[in-house]
Amino acid sequence: MSFDSFNLLGVLKKTLAENNITEPTEIQSQVIPTFLEKKDLIACSSTGSGKTLAFLLPLINLLYKERYRSKPKHTRALILAPTTELAKQIEKEIKIYTAKTKLRYTLITTGRDIGVQKHETSRGLDIIVATPGRLLTLFDKNHIKLNDLEYLILDEADLMLDMGFIKDIQELIFPVPDTCVKTMFSATFDCKTSSLTKEILNDPIVFGVKVNHNIADGIEQIVAKVQSRYKPSFLHKIIMKYNIRRGMVFAKTKKSVKRITEFLLENGVNTAQIHGDLSRREREETLQEFTDGKVEILVATDVAARGIHVDRISHIINYNLPRDPETYIHRLGRTGRGKANGFAASLYDEKERNELKAIEKLLGFKIKKIKISDEDASFQSSKNYSGSRKPKRK
Whether the Cβ atoms of residue 53 and residue 153 lie closer than 8 Å to each other: no
Residue 298 and residue 170 share a domain: no
In angstroms, rounded to a whole number, what is the distance separating the alpha carbons of residues 325 and 362? 7
Residue 229 and residue 335 share a domain: yes
Do the domain assignments include residue 71?
Answer: yes
Residue 233 and residue 202 share a domain: no
Residue 200 and residue 230 share a domain: no
User: Tell me: the pLDDT tens digits for 178-201?
Assistant: 999 999 988 765 555 466 777 888
Do the domain assignments include residue 385?
Answer: no
Do the domain assignments include residue 179?
Answer: yes
Residue 241 and residue 333 share a domain: yes
Tell me the pTM.
Answer: 0.67
Q: What is the β-pairing status of strands 271-274 and 342-348?
A: unpaired
Do the domain assignments include residue 185?
Answer: yes
What values do phi and psi take at 343, rounded to 5?
-140, 135
**Residue-by-residue DSSP string for 47-73:** TTS-HHHHHHHHHHHHHHHT--PPPTT
Residue 144 and residue 225 share a domain: no
* Ranges of the chain with pLDDT below 50: 193, 209, 379-394
DSSP letter, residue 9 = -
Residue 192 and residue 233 share a domain: no
Contacts of 255 (CB under 8 A, 6+ apart): none
pLDDT for 158 equals: 76
Do the domain assignments include residue 213?
Answer: no
pLDDT for 163 equals: 66
Residue 258 and residue 137 share a domain: no
CATH of the domain at 95: 3.40.50.300
Residue 177 and residue 231 share a domain: no
Provide the domain count of the chain.
Answer: 2
Contacts of 239 (CB under 8 A, 6+ apart): 247, 264, 269, 297, 317
| Largest distance between two CA atoms of the chain | 70
Domain boundary among 165, 180, 207: 207
Identify any residues that bridge with 222 across adjacent strands, giving them in sequence order: 345, 368
User: Tell me: the pLDDT tens digits for 292-337?
Assistant: 899 999 999 887 666 566 778 899 999 999 988 878 887 887 887 6
Domain range spanning residue 369?
Answer: 219-377
Residue 264 and residue 178 share a domain: no
Q: Is 74 left (phi over 0), alpha (psi -120 to 50) or beta?
A: beta
Cα separation values, 18 from 10, 15, 39, 52, Å: 12, 5, 29, 18
Dihedral sign for Cα 359, 187, 176, 107, please: positive
In angstroms, rounded to a whole number, what is the distance separating the alpha carbons of residues 289 and 269? 15
Do the domain assignments include residue 386?
Answer: no
pLDDT for 118 equals: 93
Closest by Cα among 22, 31, 18 to 3 = 22
Residue 190 and residue 251 share a domain: no
Residue 147 and residue 73 share a domain: yes
In angstroms, rounded to a whole number, what is the distance separating the alpha carbons of residues 188 and 158? 7
Identify any residues that bridge with 219 across adjacent strands, giving them in sequence order: 342
In angstroms, rounded to a whole number, what is the distance separating the alpha carbons of residues 258 and 166? 29
In angstroms, rounded to a whole number, what is the distance separating the alpha carbons of residues 297 and 246? 6
